[in-house]
Amino acid sequence: MAIETALTYAAHKDNIVGFVDLNGKINEFADHALVFMLRGAVFKWQQLVAFYFCEGATSSLQLKKIIKNIISALTDIGLKPIALVSDQGSSFQSAVNSLLDDTKREQLRAGETVDDTIHLNGNSLSVIFDPPHLLKGI
């Protein structure tokens, strides 16, 4: 998500907010925010779980690593993720394709049926693209 470039002093943290903090804080102005949110599939709840300030688009390799870390953390606390939902951003699509390829390779090695889902930490994740973004692309 594009954001306005600005610096803000967070007094309660004694910290300046607005620099790139993806892969450690660097002295570059952030112009994008990368946000990860959970949503209940059965009950109506939402929870922000991670956000990063970055400059420009996030690479698919970074995105893949972040997705793996988040799924691992969710599994560790007892949640059962069932889907990845996003817009049609090229970095996200590339990260998802890489995760799908990894899963497909593991399934073929194990002699399992390839099912076009992503398997991470014992979870089978479907990939869903956000309907409003799909309609916007028509």
**Type of residue found at 107:** Q
Whether residue 67 sits in one domain with residue 29: no
What does each C-alpha distance from 16 to 20, 29, 54, 62 come to in angstroms? 11, 11, 15, 24
Looking at residue 54, its pLDDT comes to 84
54 and 32 Cβ atoms separated by less than 8 Å: yes
**CB-CB neighbours of 31 under 10 Å:** 16
What's the CA gap between 118 and 101, in Å, rounded? 9
Instruction: Tell which of 34, 56, 78 closes a domain.
Output: 56
Q: Which residues of the chain have pLDDT under 70?
A: 24-25, 132-138
Domain containing 42: what range? Answer: 1-56
- Single pTM value for the model: 0.83
Determine how β-strand 15-17 pairs with β-strand 123-129. unpaired
How would you label 58-91 residue by residue, b for 16+ Cβ within 10 Å and e otherwise?
bebebbbebbbebbeebeeeeeebeebebeeeeb
Looking at residue 137, its pLDDT comes to 64
Looking at residue 62, its pLDDT comes to 92
Whether residue 72 sits in one domain with residue 47: no
Q: What tokens does 120 get? A: 């991470």
Looking at residue 60, its pLDDT comes to 92
Q: How many domains does the chain have?
A: 2
Whether residue 74 sits in one domain with residue 24: no
